[in-house]
Every structure is written in C-alpha cells, then in structure tokens.
Structure 1
C-alpha cells in the first residue's frame, strides 16, 4: 500500500503545563487556570489554536455536535444555532466528525428516504474553513432506525440494503471525505463478533469485507478504517482486530486504517500502552488514528473539579496524543467534542463529567494547553 506523507516521531513535550496554577472559581461553577493562561483562555484571544500548533501532516479534529437526542432542548442543534460554538469549531480544528448526522437513524430514517441536509451543512462548513471530514459510520450495531432493526428481511434483502446505503451515502460525498469509519465496534470485549450488529448476525462476518469493498468503489480516495473503543491496551479485542486486519489485507480488501476511540475515564489508569497497540497496526502498513477522545471524571459535590483532577485529566489527554505522535502513520487526532456544554458523557455516565478540553463558556482547561503545547513541541 502506498502511504501519504508520514507523521514523524514526536519530540515529547515536557509536562510543564501541569505546573500552571489551578484554583477553583466558585462563582463560575468551574475551575480556571492561572493568570497568564487565563488571559489566553477567553474566547477569541488565543494566539495559536490547536490546528496551527500541530505538525502539518497530522489532522486535529473534533466531533460536531448536532441532532443528538442527549442534548438539552435549548440548543437542539448546536452546529446550526450556537454561533460562538461555530466560531471555535472553525478556528481550532482542521478535521470535523459528524457526531450523529451521518449515523443510520439520522441520515437514513426511512427505508426509501435519506436526510442529507445536516451532513451536507457540515461538509460545506468544513470546506469553507479548510477542514477535512471524517465520515462516521457505515456498519454499526447502534443508532439504527427502527425500520432496519425491527424489519423482517431475507438475507438477500438485508445485503442489498447495506450495499445501497453505502453507495448512496459514500457516493454523495465522494471526494469530500478524508476518512470513513466503515466498521464500528464490531467486536465484543472477548474478541467475538457482536451479534447485536444485524448485518453481522444475519449475514456473517464476511459482510465486513464487503462493506469495505463497497465503500472503496463508492469513493476510491477516502481512507477506510476499523474503529472501536476499549483498544487502548493490549488484549483479546486488539488481537481480534489485528487478526481481522491481516486477513482483510491478505484478501486484498481496501482497508487503510485502524482507530482507537479513546473514550477514557479517570477511574482507570492512563493508556500508557496505546502507542504499542497503534504500532502493531502501523507495522501492517495501515494508518492509525485517535477518533473520539474524551476523559471523564467523578465530580466532587457541587460539580467543580479539583485542581488535581484537572491536572490528571490533562496528563491523560497528553498521554494519548504522545501515543499518536510516537507512531509514524498516526495521521488524525480527534477529540469527541470540545466543550462540556454539549458533551454526551453526563447523560450516559450520570456520576461523571467535565470530559472535554473546554468549559461550557468555551474557556480553556489545562487539558487544552496540554494538547497545544505537545503539538507545538512536535512540529
């Protein structure tokens, strides 16, 4: 496989960002950084956004909030209605991942009806702001419409439905998508295929290879990825993906990359073996990526993280970025949302939160500076 420009091995940044003084601000309901960083943290006053700090061959991305059922009704679609959100989105990042807008239940709500308007708007925004787009996702067990999950189809009909969906969606954005998460979360923690995935359950694991072939035919220029959570440490799940990747490549299936979502919790240790995991797939000739990084924490009474928690969170973010930078062909690094205002975490993990790099008012946490300074050191 011929690869594009490679990401050089990073010069690891120091942990000086952890020395920034952190103190709670009770009136704001959050914590903020020390004086020098605090001046820089105000919206619109930052001297160097993440996308400018990064090495030129590493895309820095975020999930684009919008259409999610977990969002508060005040902003049912932040991408459309929250202008400060859009300004930060356009300024800080050069890669955008639709959080929900390309998932089956949103883009294909009825068997014979597609809803492209929200995804079209993101693709248009990305083009206007010099961003690439990561397509998410084509083959997944979750967030499928009822007509698909509850329908009674023959195997032939189900195969035709998936093929038509991939050709329609990928084909619509042909030449406009940098990477597609083709197969998403297809293995359980024990390394066995998820039977909740209707296509795998009914058609067998071979449908994964077909999905990659169809996506490649629909857009030969897009990089096609396997994507999953819980692959930040070596284990049977990583082994399953490595075996699958080897088989797909041996069968000349157009697989181009492997990605760790990296949804992390501070209840567990930092993923200090992630670089080794990514290297295993780099050694196969694949690109690697971080696609959905956030770091949630248990919040003290009152909901304000402590200085120690913020420092630990920053260290987790830096650990994941260091892992990406240490692997030659890790070419995309995406955080799953950039502001706590629209984070999915508190809905699905009610006792945890504060998982992103910015507060609800878009001011910056130590984690943001950890990312920016590490990126700048790797240029």
Structure 2
C-alpha cells in the first residue's frame, strides 16, 4: 500500500460576488471522489531560509500541498491578498469561478474568464491548481435546476459539462473534486437533482467521464489503493439542541464548585 500523502487546505475568506460560499468536503468515498492528474508536473518550490518561516516553506519542505480558496475579486484587485496567497500557499482552488453557475449561467454559454485568470496566476507563481467542482448538488444554474429535463437529457448534460471543463484545463489541474458532497452528514445519500433523476450510478459515470476527458490521469478511489488524502474540511458533530445550562457545565473548570 502506498503511503498516504496529506494535503491541507486553508481559506482566505472574502466574498466579493455575493455567491453562496461552500467549503469543500473530503473528496473520498463517503463524500465525493477525485481524479488526480499524475501527468501534471507539479511546480517545484525550493524554500530558502526566509521561505522556511512561511506555511508554504514548511509545506514544501515536507512534501505537503497547502492551499487556499481564492475569489476572483481579491485576486484581481487586492495586492495584499495576493501577496499573502503567493507567499503562504503552494496550491489554489477557485472559490466560485469553476462552479457550474459561474461557468455556464446560460446553457451552452461559458464564462471562462475568472477561472482562466486563476489558472494563469497559479502557473506564474508556481502553484498547483485543484479543480472544484464537477458534480455537486449546490450552485447549479437556474436553467439546469428548473429545466425539468428527462434522465437521458440530464445524463447528456452532465457528461458534456464534465468533459468540457476537464478538457479545457487538461494538464493544468493536478486534481479534480469530481463528485462533491454526495452524502449528507449522517451518511445517507443526499436527495439532490443527480441521484433523484439519475440514480446513484451518476457517481461512477462522473468519474469515468472525468477520466476520459484527461486520459493521462489516474483514477483513484480508496486509500488502500493509493489515494492521496486531502483534508479539506474538519467537522465536529454536536448533538442539538444545545442549552445554555449545558454550555455552562461544559465551560466550567473542573476545579470550581459545581454547585456555585
């Protein structure tokens, strides 16, 4: 079994677009899946003494990718933001620019500008790009959500979207979040457009289509088959409803008299 390589993702939180912002879930079996394009030669960054004090320097020195979700507004208009981005992170992910509603707001009409800018910026600053996302229940354009398409039509639409997006960035993206948040927090299948209309088989199809669009990529699914694990979100499940009394009990130091 290959050694599992960790990937950490941090977020530079700014929302210049007003889009609903979602944090990516772990792209594994329980949540999603990914295609890792091993043919992409990831940028090599050799940290000097000064760089070793940055997140990027430490990450590069340990063979770890540490990334940030990047909005188009800060990328193009906030030099302080980009200075931190380029100094501290060796991987970037588009916050919204590669999501379906941003890329194809009208059926058949693609807006690549913001996504292309991020990919170009990453290339210029020796950063890898993680593609997010291909099949997701959220941030779908209204024409898709309200189109009342048949299963056959929807299958064709999803296949075309995946092929177009992955094909455009072939060789420029080291990994794709292919199926994102397919399951709810309790482990059950999320009742979204895709499984409702296409059944659970859409997951396997999405992976096949993504691989077909970038044949040089390796399709990886399970850690015991060599998947590089990406830590993109850490959640702590807290049973609800909570109460102020319970919070007080949890916060009170053990040394205090519980009757006070």
Question: What is the TM-score normalised by the length of structure 1?
Answer: 0.47
Match of 2:57 in 1: 52
Matched, 1:110 2:106: yes
Match of 2:202 in 1: 207
3-state SS in 1 of match to 2:196: helix
Deviation at 1:194, TM superposition (A): 1.1
Asked whether the equivalents of residues 52 and 58 of structure 2 are also in contact (C-alpha less than 8 Å), the reply is no
Q: Go from structure 1 to structure 2 and tell me whether the alpha carbon gap of 1:204 and 1:112 turns closer, same or farther (over 3 Å shift).
A: same
Q: Go from structure 1 to structure 2 and tell me whether the alpha carbon gap of 1:141 and 1:6 turns closer, same or farther (over 3 Å shift).
A: closer
Deviation at 1:283, TM superposition (A): 2.9
3-state SS in 1 of match to 2:167: helix
Matched, 1:171 2:112: no
Match of 2:34 in 1: none
Q: Go from structure 1 to structure 2 and tell me whether the alpha carbon gap of 1:7 and 1:169 turns closer, same or farther (over 3 Å shift).
A: closer
Alignment of 1:136-151 (within 5 A): 136-151=132-147
**Take 1:216 and 1:50, find their aligned partners in 2: how far apart are those partners?**
32
Q: Go from structure 1 to structure 2 and tell me whether the alpha carbon gap of 1:294 and 1:100 turns closer, same or farther (over 3 Å shift).
A: farther
**Take 1:175 and 1:112, find their aligned partners in 2: how far apart are those partners?**
24
**Take 1:187 and 1:294, find their aligned partners in 2: how far apart are those partners?**
14
Q: For residues 297-350 of structure 1, what are the alpha-carbon distances to aligned partners after superposition, in whole Å with 9 as ceiling and x for unaligned?
A: xxxxxxxxxxxxxxxxxxxxxxxxxxxxxxxxxxxxxxxxxxxxxxxxxxxxxx
Q: For residues 199-241 of structure 1, what are the alpha-carbon distances to aligned partners after superposition, in whole Å with 9 as ceiling and x for unaligned?
A: 2110100011000001011113446xxxxxxxxxxxxxxxxxx
Asked whether the equivalents of residues 134 and 179 of structure 1 are also in contact (C-alpha less than 8 Å), the reply is yes
Higher relative contact order (CA 8 A, sep 6+): 2
Match of 1:18 in 2: none
Which runs of 5 or more structure 1 residues have no equivalent in the other structure?
9-44, 67-76, 224-253, 258-280, 296-379
Deviation at 1:284, TM superposition (A): 4.3
Q: RMSD of aligned C-alpha atoms?
A: 2.4
Alignment of 1:238-277 (within 5 A): 254=219, 256-257=220-221
Asked whether the equivalents of residues 166 and 215 of structure 1 are also in contact (C-alpha less than 8 Å), the reply is yes
Match of 1:120 in 2: 116
Deviation at 1:109, TM superposition (A): 0.9
**Take 2:124 and 2:51, find their aligned partners in 1: how far apart are those partners?**
21
Matched, 1:135 2:131: yes
Deviation at 1:7, TM superposition (A): 4.1
Match of 2:230 in 1: 289
Asked whether the equivalents of residues 133 and 176 of structure 1 are also in contact (C-alpha less than 8 Å), the reply is yes
**Take 1:63 and 1:219, find their aligned partners in 2: how far apart are those partners?**
23
**Aligned match for 1:161, one of 146, 152, 157:** 157
Asked whether the equivalents of residues 62 and 95 of structure 1 are also in contact (C-alpha less than 8 Å), the reply is yes
Bigger helix fraction? 1
3-state SS in 1 of match to 2:231: strand
The alignment covers a number of residue pairs equal to: 192
3-state SS in 2 of match to 1:287: coil
Q: For residues 22-64 of structure 1, what are the alpha-carbon distances to aligned partners after superposition, in whole Å with 9 as ceiling and x for unaligned?
A: xxxxxxxxxxxxxxxxxxxxxxx98622111124421111111
Q: Go from structure 1 to structure 2 and tell me whether the alpha carbon gap of 1:214 and 1:47 turns closer, same or farther (over 3 Å shift).
A: closer
Which runs of 5 or more structure 2 residues have no equivalent in the other structure?
7-49, 237-260
**Take 1:222 and 1:123, find their aligned partners in 2: how far apart are those partners?**
18
Asked whether the equivalents of residues 94 and 132 of structure 1 are also in contact (C-alpha less than 8 Å), the reply is yes
**Take 1:101 and 1:144, find their aligned partners in 2: how far apart are those partners?**
13
Matched, 1:100 2:41: no
**Take 2:231 and 2:217, find their aligned partners in 1: how far apart are those partners?**
17
Question: What is the TM-score normalised by the length of structure 2?
Answer: 0.68
Asked whether the equivalents of residues 108 and 115 of structure 1 are also in contact (C-alpha less than 8 Å), the reply is yes
Match of 2:182 in 1: 186
Q: Go from structure 1 to structure 2 and tell me whether the alpha carbon gap of 1:199 and 1:127 turns closer, same or farther (over 3 Å shift).
A: same
